[in-house]
Amino acid sequence: MKTIGVLTSGGDSPGMNACIAAVACNAARKRLRVVGILGGFDGLVEGRGTELDEKCVSDIAGRGGTILQTSRNGDLKTRLSASDIPDTFGRLGVDSLIALGGGGSMVAAKMVADTGFPVIAVPCTIDNDIEGTHYTIGFDTACNHSVRAANDIMDTAESLPGRVFLIETLGGDTGHLAVASAYAIGADAVVVPELKADIAGMCRRIKTEMDSGKACAIIVIAEGAGPSQKLADQIAEVTGRRVRPTVLGHAQRGGHPSYWDRTTARRFGEMAVQLLLDGGSGAMTALVGGSLTDVPLCIPVGASRALDVDTYHIINRSAQ
């Protein structure tokens, strides 16, 4: 193996650039060439790449987004199946691949690996929903956005007591980000797509607490659990309080990656290069129980990571 291709696919998680930098720098130390593939798996199919060396990546680790850009393509499986992967790799001049991305990217990476080319995947998504790893790059930074928003909202709550504040997080059709954020914030409730919420019971509890002197309430809702404004209207009707929704939106994807995301991204990137050098393929870097490891790509491809139901019930003061 002489040349590694690296691409970023799916959402642009904070920490992707740090991982790209780690791949380029570690490869250079081992006298390997790195080609950055532009535009995700679309760029792989179309043969779009650019040379990456230590100088190119010297100042990118602290930047959000990805310098390689990314893509979301609904017919990606069809395009990859119809592509001549050996020809594509030949045109790019690469003989192995490191793919950064979320669940869909794991599927695409496995498709490429199944053609016989060495492929290592790195889990990068703020949703933290990939099976086989307890952590995905970008999750910590996204949670920190939620915490900062809640802190700012509490400043307003002290000046204008008696209100209910609703914070909508990203997370796609999963609630990992919402649950983790709600727990860190000390929220009064959390609503997620995976579980049916007792909205009426939640509203009655919050009303009772506020009638007894609680200054305000904070509820976190995952974007996939339904429109936050609809929930806000329900809460207002039951509690008789003003409800103020805040939609974090794509601000939660951006910004400088946290210390934890930069460190984990670097470790994953360095590990991915070493796995390829050791002859590995069809695997994903992972963090399990605090230890770095690698797992077969069939694990993340086969299922999504289960929600932390225990923490969900703690936040909602509900019985399991």
Catalytic residues: 127
Q: Which residues contact 219 (CB under 8 A, 6 or more apart)?
A: 164, 165, 166, 167, 187, 188, 189, 190, 191, 202, 206, 231, 235
CB proximity list for 185: less than 8 A, separation 6 or greater? 146, 147, 150, 167, 218, 220
> What is the C-alpha separation between 243 and 90, in angstroms, rounded?
58
Spatial contact of 241 and 63, defined as CB atoms under 8 Å apart = no
- DSSP letters spanning 140-206: HHHHHHHHHHHHHHHHHHHHS-SEEEEEEE--TT--HHHHHHHHHHT-SEEE-SSS---HHHHHHHH
Which one, of 261, 272, 314, 235, lies nearest residue 109 by Cα? 272
Q: Is 25 exposed, middle or buried (0-12, 13-18, 19+ CB in 10 A)?
A: buried
